[in-house]
Amino acid sequence: SDKIPPDEQTRYVPRKARSYQIELAEPALNGKHTMICAPTGSGKTFVSIMICEHHLCNRPAGQTGKVVFLATKVPVYEQQKKVFQEHFKTDYKIDGICGENASSTSAEIVIQENDIIVMTPQILLNSLNNKGTNISLSTFTLMIFDECHNTTGNNPYNVLMFKYLDLKLKQGARSLPQIVGLTASPGIGSAKNIGEAIDYICKICASLNIEVISTVRKNIKDLEEIVHKPEKKISALHCRPFFLKKIFPSPLDDLSVIKKQCYGTQKYEQWVVDMQKKAVVLQCKNAEEESRVCRALFICMQHLRKYNDALIINEDARTKDALDYLKDYFEDIKNCYFDDIEQQLASNFEVNLSELTAASEDESNENPKLEDIREILEEAYHVNPETRTILFVKTRALLAALKNWIEETPELQFLKPQTLMGRGKRNHCTGMTLPNQKGTLDAFKINGDSKLLIATSVADEGIDIVQCNLVLLYEYTGNIIKMIQVRGRGRAKDSKCILVTSKKEEEEKERYNLQKEKMMNKAIEEVQSWDEKKFAKKVSSFITRVPFMSHSRKTTEPKPWKDNLVLLCGKCKTEVCSTEDLRVIEESHHTVLGEKFKTRYITKPHKAARSYGDFEKKFKMHCIIDSCHHDWGIIVKYKTFEDMPIIKIESFSVKDVVSNRQNHFGKWKDVDFAVKDLDFEELSY
């Protein structure tokens, strides 16, 4: 059959507002600071477009409006910017800024020259904090927070609103923008009763300066015609025998005797991580002995973590996938320096390899959990061959393993699975670039060849995927907000959302979330029954506490300048550089000055060389010591400067040469000493 050309399929079609959308927008159209709480798939973006249009068309004489639409994730930012541009066309000037284009775009110019600006919140924060710009919160007349339930803790949304509320209490609200928040669920935190749930919701409202919570109450039938609440099921899976535990080699087994019973769990992984951190700061009287012991511990812990990963993969996928994961790991380390310890550990693996290979090929060892998933999928596509499925998984390793399993299972090959994952950390090789994410989503939406999308958490919030009628949550649970959002991915009529799990605690967690959802809905109804004065008083009681938090953030003690500190390689304890040679670039990246440091490392090709902002990844950087080769970070081109080292502090121990004491920091923000900003005149590259 002739397929509709992609440009025809993706063309934006302006539509008339439905009665429930007008109801949702009404308080905001009347100028109220409003939280709009409506199900996924109800068209909250279209509601925000209505509010924008009304706001810009109805300004007082001589006053112009300026709207900022904030989205927390870059794929959502891209999607919403496109929708706004296609709706308004040439009526209003629309542009956007996110981390991907911030380095090549002037935020000040984009904000000043456009009527509607779509942004990620951190970019707006950076602009507000930049004293060289004329941008302030008063620049805008309307701020729309997509997924506004994120306005908590240190989230950029909350930091923005700290600034807003500080200004409100100092100079009044006259010059500040109207606030509109959009969410499928505000959540109730750890509330255990209706009273605590009401308090949590009112705190979120206080954080956003909200005056009204808007939900659909009059036009529920109209809403139900559009939003089809999926049938919710829990499918209890069979557990698989844990015979793979024997793959732990005996030297490692002796090391981890206190955690033996926890193999193949997140708890065990956390123990390994904690032990690695302790190894980094372990000290011996003899420097040579310290280097040998720390290196040995580091290597053993690294191997333990990989074995534990393999057990987790084996639990949820095929033994073949777990085995392939380990084979790839040992292949990688063979390409690096292979010392006596690595040789011994590799030999232990080789000894068990033939037995494990035979076990992975034995049909009686097939994972019963996968058989259950196969039956669910086969039944769904037998009943409706046009079924579209999203399969949510927790980890990227499992995402890859399940894709391989589906592609290698004859009965399921017709599904032609696509995968969608997050972008990953900048220093890491895993993750999808934004163009790859968009390409996957477009392929799943448009061509129809792929009938199943396997996704990690990147797809559970905000992204408009497609009308799926089957959502499978494979050992995948979270809090009430995540549950409501994920369930909302099933937008088609008669859709189903099935939690497939072998873990009793996951079943109980999901049932608990369902109870909390009922409690949240009751709490919202209770708050909506209050008159405006009572609601304002309650919210105000929380707002008055906010500026103190804001003030305490501003007056945080600056980190002290410390002499006599050096960095040691976290694996072999070789001295690397003085902390006086460290410099900060753009408030978050750390480099090392001087020619001496260049003699301390070697470089290897970067598996995921790509650009972000003014940085272009070129190589991975490793300790030069042959028996170590510890990963220290990356080599980048920064603006016009070639071959700049960017180090990660987690790879080092910080030693005070006077007291001989060592410290380890997981992140740069945790270090207890000050680092100078980079002065370009210091560069000798």
pLDDT digits (tens, 9 = 90+) for 257-282: 555 557 777 788 888 888 888 888 88
Superfamily of structural domain 565-683? RIG-I-like receptor, C-terminal regulatory domain (2.170.150.30)
**For the residues of 228-274, what is the DSSP string, one character each?**
-PPEEEEEEPPPPP-GGGGGS-HHHHHHTGGGGGGTTSHHHHHHHHH
pLDDT at 464: 54
Phi and psi (nearest 5°) for 575?
-70, 135
**251-282 burial, b if ≥16 CB within 10 A, otherwise e?**
eebebbeebeeebbeeebbebbeebbbebbbe
Cα–Cα dist 577/601, whole Å = 11
Domain 565-683 in the same topology as domain 252-365: no
- Interval 7-18 mean pLDDT: 51
Q: What is the CATH number of domain 231-238+367-502?
A: 3.40.50.300
Q: Are 219 and 23 in contact (CB under 8 A)?
A: yes
Mean of all residue pLDDT scores within the chain: 81
DSSP E strands: which ranges in 502-586? 565-569, 575-578, 582-585
| Closest to 117 in 3D by CA, of 128, 126, 104, 108 | 108
φ/ψ (deg, to 5) at 103: -70, -30
Residue 43 in contact with residue 21, Cβ under 8 Å? yes
> In the chain, what percentage of residues exceed pLDDT 70?
80
pLDDT in tens, 491-526: 445 677 788 787 776 667 767 777 888 888 888 888
DSSP single-letter state for residue 149: G
Most confident region among 40-49, 177-186, 326-335, 467-476 by mean pLDDT:
177-186
Q: First-to-last CA distance in the chain?
A: 60
Q: Is the pLDDT of residue 621 over 90?
A: yes
The larger pLDDT score, comparing residue 3 to residue 73, is at 73
pLDDT at 238 over 50: yes
Give the pairing of strands 676-677 and 582-585.
Answer: parallel
d(CA 29, CA 41): 21
Task: Give the pair of three-digit tokens for residue 151.
Answer: 């306005």
What's the pLDDT at 555?
Answer: 42
Q: Is 498 left (phi over 0), alpha (psi -120 to 50) or beta?
A: beta
- Look at residue 202 in the predicted model and tell me its pLDDT: 92
- Of residues 239 and 397, more confidently modeled: 397
pLDDT attached to residue 560? 86
Asked whether the predicted pLDDT for residue 466 surpasses 60, the reply is no
Q: Say if residue 252's pLDDT is above 80.
A: no
Question: Domain limits of the chain?
Answer: 32-225+527-545, 231-238+367-502, 252-365, 565-683
Q: How far is CA 66 from CA 28, 63, 94, 137, in A?
A: 15, 10, 10, 11
**The model's pTM:** 0.67
Phi, psi of 27 (to 5 degrees): -60, -40
SS3 state at 36: strand
User: What H or E segment, with its residue span, contains residue 53?
Assistant: helix 44-57
Is residue 240 very low, low, confident or very high in pLDDT (cuts 50, 70, 90)?
Answer: low
d(CA 107, CA 98): 9
Over residues 340-382, the pLDDT tens digits come to: 788 888 888 888 888 888 888 887 778 888 988 999 999 989 8
Q: What is the distance between the alpha carbons of residues 152 and 154, in angstroms, rounded to a whole number?
A: 6
Query: What's the pLDDT band for 428 if we cut at 50, 70, 90?
Result: very low
What does the pLDDT look like over 39-64, one tens digit per residue?
877 888 899 999 999 999 988 887 88
CATH of 32-225+527-545, one of 3.30.930.10, 3.40.1160.10, 3.40.50.300, 1.10.3720.10: 3.40.50.300
Single-letter amino acid, residue 48: S
Lowest mean pLDDT among 275-284, 553-562, 577-586, 597-606: 553-562
Mean pLDDT on 293-320: 88
Tracing tokens 């042959």 back to the chain, one arrives at 626
Per-residue burial over 152-166, b if 16 or more Cβ lie within 10 Å, else e, is eeebbbbbbbbebbb
Confidence check: pLDDT of 19 > 70: yes
State mean pLDDT over 94-100: 85
Q: Is the pLDDT of residue 249 over 60?
A: no
Euclidean distance between CA atoms 418 and 390, whole angstroms: 10
Give 556 or 178, the one with higher predicted confidence: 178
Residues above pLDDT 90, as percent of the chain? 32
Q: What is the pLDDT of residue 63?
A: 85
For the domain 252-365, what is the CATH code? 1.20.1320.30
Distance of CA 417 to the CA centre of its chain: 22
